[in-house]
Structure 1
Amino acid sequence: MDDPNQSQNCSEANQPLDAFYVSAFSFIFLFGLVFNILALIFFFRFTKIRSQTTIYMKNLACADLLLVVSLPLRISYYISRQPFALLVCELNGLIFLVNMYGSIFFLTCISLDRCVAICFPMKSRLNELRKRASWISAGVWALVVGASIPPYVLVKIRKSASNDSCNLCFDKSPDYVTNPLTVATTLLVGYGIPLVTIVICSLALLRGVRRSSATRMDLVDWHKIRNMVATNIVIFVICFLPYHTVLLLYTVCGASSRDVLHKAYRLTMAIACCNAMLDPAAYYFTTETFQKSVGIKALKNALTSNTESGELNNRSVSPVNT
C-alpha cells in the first residue's frame, strides 16, 4: 500500500461517481460470475458436441471470468479510496485490456466460423482451417496478452525516468492506451477490422440462410438466427464502441478536454466490462439455434444444392456441429 498522506494528495476522496462504479461493478461481478460459471459447466459437462464454435465460446467465457474475478479490487477501491500497490492496479488494468480484446477476437472467430460452416461447406481448405480452432484460440490469447504489454512497458519506463511517485490507481490518466500510435493500431486492428468482419459475416450468414431450401422447409428458424446475429452485433457495438470512441477523442482533442475525457474513459470502461455478463446471451442464441433447431448436414446440402430438397425431407434433424 502507498503512504496514506501521499494517496490523499494524489487523489480526491468521495468522487461523485464512486457509488455508480461500486453499483455497476458489483452488478457485473454478480451476474458475470454466475452466468459464465454456468456457461463453462454447460460447455464442459453437458455439451456432447465438440465443435469449433464451442471451443471459441469456452475461451470467451474464460476471458470473461478472468475480468469478473478482477472486479472486487475495483469495487474495494471505489468504496475506500485507498489505492492498492501500483503494480496491482496496473495488472488489473492489463486484465481489462486482455478481456476486452480477447472478447472482441473470440466473438469475431465465432462469427467467422459460423459463416464458413454454413455459407462455404464445400470449401475444403476453409474447413481444414476450422479444425484448428484450438490453435487459433491459443494465438488469440498470445496476441491480446502480447499486444497489451508493450505500450504499458514503454510508459512505465518513461514515468520511472521522470520520478513520478503519485499513485492514482484506477483514477490515473490512461497514458499507455492513449498514445497516438497505440490508438491508431487499436482502432484499426483491435476494433475496426473485427467489427467489419462480424458485420460482413453476419450479413452473409443471414443471406445464405434466408435463401436456402432449409429455411423454406422450416428446418431452420430464420428469425432465431436473425436474433442471434443481432445480439452479437448489439453486444459488440454497445460494449466496445463508446470506449474506442473515447480513445479516438484523446488524439483529436486538446489538453483542455483531458479532465472530461478521463471521466468519460472510466465510464466507458465500466460499459465495456458489461460484455462479461452479456456474452452468455450470445451462447444461448448460438446453442439454441444451431444445436437444437437444425441438422447441419441438411442445412449444408440445402445451401449447396436447392435440387436436393426432396432428400432433405427424409432426413432426421440432428444437433448441429458447428
Structure 2
Amino acid sequence: MEEEAGRFSTKHCITQSNMPEPDISVTTPQEFGSDYDYSHYYAFSDVSYQDYGLCEKTHVRAFGRIFLPVFYTFVCALDIVGNTLLVFILIKYMKPSSVTSVYLLNMAASDILFAVTLPFWAVYAHSEWIFGDFGCKTITLIYTVNLFSSIYFITCISLDRYLNIVWASSTNRFVKSPKCYVMCIVVWALSFLAAAPDLNFVKLQEFDGKKTCTHEFGGEHLSPWRIFLKFQMNIIGFLIPFLAMLFFYLSICCFAVKMKLGKKSRTLKLAVALVVVFFVLWFPYNLVLFLHSLQDLHVISDCATSKRLDLAIQVTESLAFTHTCLNPILYAFVNKRFRSCLFKILKKVCKRGRAYSLECTGSTSISSDLNTGIELTMVENVQ
C-alpha cells in the first residue's frame, strides 16, 4: 500500500511539476495536499501524454489541514482518558485473572499507544513532517503495530466469549492454562510482522521544500511489496478479523436461541452490537481504502473521483479511529463488576471534590471575617 491505513489522510497526492517523459522511472515522494494526481507512477508506453493532466486538489488540502488535526486531537484525548481508566481499574480492582481481562488489558495498552501517535500525524497534516527520520520510522512503526494489535485483541475477545458460551467445558481449561498469554504474544508478533515493511520502506524525504514521511520503493512502479501493502489493511486488518468475529458471535446467537437461554438475551444483544459497531466504523474506511488502491493501480484515473476519494478517506479514517474510544465502553463498561468499580472511583472523586470545596469555602470565610475585623478596627481608630 503506498500509504498505509492510518496515514492515508495526511498524504494523498503526488506532486510533479513537469509532465512525465517516456521510459523514465519517476520516484517522487508523496505529499499531503499536493495538487496533482498519481499518473506518472505507471508505465508510459501505452498511455498518451494527454492522460497525465493536472488534478488540482487545493480544497482537499484545505479541508484536511483543519479537520484532521482537530479530530485527531479529539480522538487522542478520549482514547487516553477512557483506556487509562480501563487499565487502572483492571489492575487496581479487578486483577487480570480471567482471559477476557488479559485481552482487555492488552487492547487498552494498544489503544493508548495508538493514540500517542495521533498528535504527530495531526502536526504533519497541518504542515509537514518535522520529527526527523528516526521519528518517521518510530512513529509509523508504533502506529501500525497498535492499529493491527487493537483489532486482533478485539477478535481474541470474541473468541473467548465464543469458547465461554458455546464450549464452556473447553474454556475452563483455557482459563487455567497459559494459552491466553501465548495468544497475546502471537497477536503482538503478528502485529510487528505486519508493520515490519515500514522499517525498510518508510523514509524521511523532501520534495518542493517540504519534508514528508512516506514509503519509498525505489524505481519499481508495481513492485510486489507495493501491491501487497496496498491491500494489507483490507485483508488482514479488516476482512479476516470481521469474518472471525461474525462467525463467533453468530455461533453465540445460534447457541443462545437453540438452548432458549433467557438470561443470555443480554449476551445476544451485546454480540449483535459489537459486530454491528465494528462493521459500521471500519467497513466505510476499508471500502474507500480499496478504491484508493485501485486509483494507485490506475484502474481509477478520473480527477473528480480522485478528489472525492481523498475527501472520503479523511472522513472514514477518522470515523474508524473512534473505535479506540468506544472500546472501553463496548468491552468493559457493560461488565457489572467493572461498573461497580467505576462508581466507587467516581464516589471517591466526588467526596474529595466536596471536601476540597468545603476547605476552600471555610478558608475563604475565615479570611473574610479577618478582613472585616481589620476594617472595623481601622474605622474605630480613625474615629
How high is the TM-score relative to the length of structure 1?
A: 0.71
| Aligned counterpart in structure 2 of residue 241 of structure 1, from 260, 283, 293 | 283
Within the alignment, does 1:271 sit opposite 2:319 as a pair?
yes
Residue in 1 that maps onto 2:267: 225
State how far apart, in whole Å, the 1-side matches of 2:272 and 2:173 are. Answer: 25
Q: Which stretch shows the higher mean deviation, 9-18 or 32-41?
A: 9-18
C-alpha displacement of 1:173: 7.6
Residue in 2 that maps onto 1:207: 254
CA contact (8 A) 1:32 1:276 kept: yes
State how far apart, in whole Å, the 2-side matches of 1:128 and 1:67 are. Answer: 28
Q: Report the residue type matching 2:326 in the other structure.
A: L
CA contact (8 A) 1:246 1:265 kept: yes
C-alpha displacement of 1:235: 3.2
Cα RMSD, aligned residues only? 3.6
Change in CA separation of 1:145 and 1:184 when aligned onto 2, cut-off 3 Å = same
Q: Which stretch shows the higher mean deviation, 131-140 or 9-18?
A: 9-18
Residue in 2 that maps onto 1:165: 206
State how far apart, in whole Å, the 1-side matches of 2:115 and 2:224 are. Answer: 21
C-alpha displacement of 1:116: 0.7
C-alpha displacement of 1:154: 4.8
Change in CA separation of 1:85 and 1:149 when aligned onto 2, cut-off 3 Å = same
Change in CA separation of 1:247 and 1:230 when aligned onto 2, cut-off 3 Å = same
Alignment of 1:55-94 (within 5 A): 55-79=102-126, 81-87=127-133, 88-94=135-141
State how far apart, in whole Å, the 2-side matches of 1:289 and 1:202 are. Answer: 23
Within the alignment, does 1:21 sit opposite 2:99 as a pair?
no
Residue in 2 that maps onto 1:120: 167
State how far apart, in whole Å, the 2-side matches of 1:188 and 1:120 are. Answer: 28
State how far apart, in whole Å, the 2-side matches of 1:143 and 1:190 are. Answer: 11
**RCO higher in structure (CA 8 A, sep ≥6):** 1
Q: Report the residue type matching 2:284 in the other structure.
A: P
Larger radius of gyration: 2
List 4+ stretches of structure 1 deviating above 6 A.
Answer: 173-178, 289-292
State how far apart, in whole Å, the 1-side matches of 2:171 and 2:331 are. Answer: 27
CA contact (8 A) 2:114 2:143 kept: yes
State how far apart, in whole Å, the 2-side matches of 1:32 and 1:102 are. Answer: 15
Q: Secondary structure at the match of 1:256?
A: coil
Change in CA separation of 1:291 and 1:76 when aligned onto 2, cut-off 3 Å = closer
CA contact (8 A) 2:123 2:129 kept: no
Task: Give deviations 1:158-191, integer Å, cap 9, x for gaps.
Answer: x79xxx6325547x68989993223445433332
Change in CA separation of 1:126 and 1:267 when aligned onto 2, cut-off 3 Å = farther
Q: Structure 1: which 5+ runs fail to align?
A: 1-8, 293-322
Task: Give deviations 1:28-76, integer Å, cap 9, x for gaps.
Answer: 1221111111100111111156100110010000010001122222333
Q: Report the residue type matching 1:165 in the other structure.
A: E
C-alpha displacement of 1:221: 4.8
How high is the TM-score relative to the length of structure 2?
A: 0.61
CA contact (8 A) 2:201 2:215 kept: no
Q: Secondary structure at the match of 1:165?
A: strand
Identity of aligned residues (%): 23
State how far apart, in whole Å, the 1-side matches of 2:244 and 2:250 are. Answer: 10
CA contact (8 A) 2:89 2:338 kept: no
State how far apart, in whole Å, the 1-side matches of 2:216 and 2:324 are. Answer: 22
State how far apart, in whole Å, the 2-side matches of 1:77 and 1:184 are. Answer: 24
CA contact (8 A) 2:164 2:171 kept: no
Structure number having the greater strand percentage? 2
CA contact (8 A) 1:178 1:250 kept: no
Task: Give deviations 1:212-256, integer Å, cap 9, x for gaps.
Answer: 36x34xxx251x223322332133223322332233223433263
Alignment of 1:1-322 (within 5 A): 15-48=62-95, 50-79=97-126, 81-87=127-133, 88-123=135-170, 127=174, 131-150=178-197, 152-156=198-202, 165-166=206-207, 168-169=211-212, 179-212=226-259, 215-216=261-262, 220-222=263-265, 224-253=266-295, 254=298, 256=301, 260-284=308-332, 287-288=335-336
- Tell me the matched-pair count: 272
State how far apart, in whole Å, the 1-side matches of 2:334 and 2:94 are. Answer: 13
Change in CA separation of 1:11 and 1:208 when aligned onto 2, cut-off 3 Å = closer
CA contact (8 A) 1:102 1:140 kept: yes
State how far apart, in whole Å, the 2-side matches of 1:30 and 1:45 are. Answer: 22
Q: Secondary structure at the match of 1:194?
A: helix
CA contact (8 A) 2:103 2:153 kept: yes
CA contact (8 A) 1:22 1:78 kept: yes
State how far apart, in whole Å, the 1-side matches of 2:225 and 2:314 are. Answer: 13
State how far apart, in whole Å, the 1-side matches of 2:122 and 2:161 are. Answer: 37
Change in CA separation of 1:110 and 1:72 when aligned onto 2, cut-off 3 Å = same
Structure number having the greater helix percentage? 1
Change in CA separation of 1:48 and 1:183 when aligned onto 2, cut-off 3 Å = same
Q: Report the residue type matching 2:250 in the other structure.
A: L
